Structure 1
Amino acid sequence: MISLFLKCLLGAAAVLLIAVLSKSKSFFISGLVPLFPTFALIAHYIVGTERTMKDLRTTALFGLYSLIPYAAYLVAVYYFSYKFDLVWTLSMATVVWLFFAFILLVGWTKFHPTLGSNV
């Protein structure tokens, strides 16, 4: 239970930092905060303690590929922000992220050679 509470505190601290930075002269830095590997550290620790180092490497590799949907989301936000209001921009960018995440998951499960094997 304490572990769950600490994870919640990390998330709350990230949101607080984003809110503070978004009001500063360096508001653009708030876009860097979500990229701090808070949740990746948690995921990697859990995978590293409950599974093999090979599984940790696979998780890290998939994390690298997961940058593709995030990059597509950012490109969509940038592009759509010229044409639509905030709600439409973020909504459509989220759909773009979902599409690319779906493609990534389908491709990963179909083409990743070690998926399902514990060699």
Structure 2
Amino acid sequence: MKFLLNLYLPAADLPGEGFDHAEFLAAAGQAGELISAHAFADPSISAVARARDGVVTVTEGPYLQTSDQVVGQYVVDCESRARAVELATLIAGGLGGVEIRPLMDSAGMEM
């Protein structure tokens, strides 16, 4: 099963650089579970496209005005949800949280 691990950080702590994920990378890498990893740019330089009543508008800046922002993600392929949660606990320290979300294919089936 594939899971997306979204990494959240309080907006006051941005940019989210310099986290030590060595333990996570070693565990997921050695087990062959790490598929990809992405660090995100500062949300202040993002843009959002929205459609309302058939009109598309583009606004600058982060989509959510919240205290936590997504700063990166890992995609892992684990035997179970419990294993994905176990891996997430290895990187949760120092972050605002790690969201563990199953990935689905275009037919809506878990991958």
TM-score if structure 2 supplies the norm length? 0.25
Give the structure with the higher percent strand.
Answer: 2
Give the structure with the higher percent helix.
Answer: 1
Higher relative contact order (CA 8 A, sep 6+): 2
